[in-house]
Amino acid sequence: MEENKFTKDQLRKSETFREYIDIITALFSDDLSYTIDEANQKINEYLNRKVM
């Protein structure tokens, strides 16, 4: 079964990702769609990156 995919704009407007709106705006592509798992992974990778 294929998971639902959401556009950058849909993720930005969702209650689930409200606190990550700036990250989504900056990192997510306008031309792609993401599953919830993909979106969570991309956000977590950004939040857990090493700052030099």
Q: Where are the domains of the chain?
A: 6-47
What mean pLDDT do residues 35-50 have? 97
What's the pLDDT score for residue 1?
74
Cα torsion angle, 43, 48, 49, 52, sign: positive
Q: Is the pLDDT of residue 35 over 90?
A: yes
What's the pLDDT score for residue 27?
97
Q: Tokens for 8, please give them.
A: 């950058």
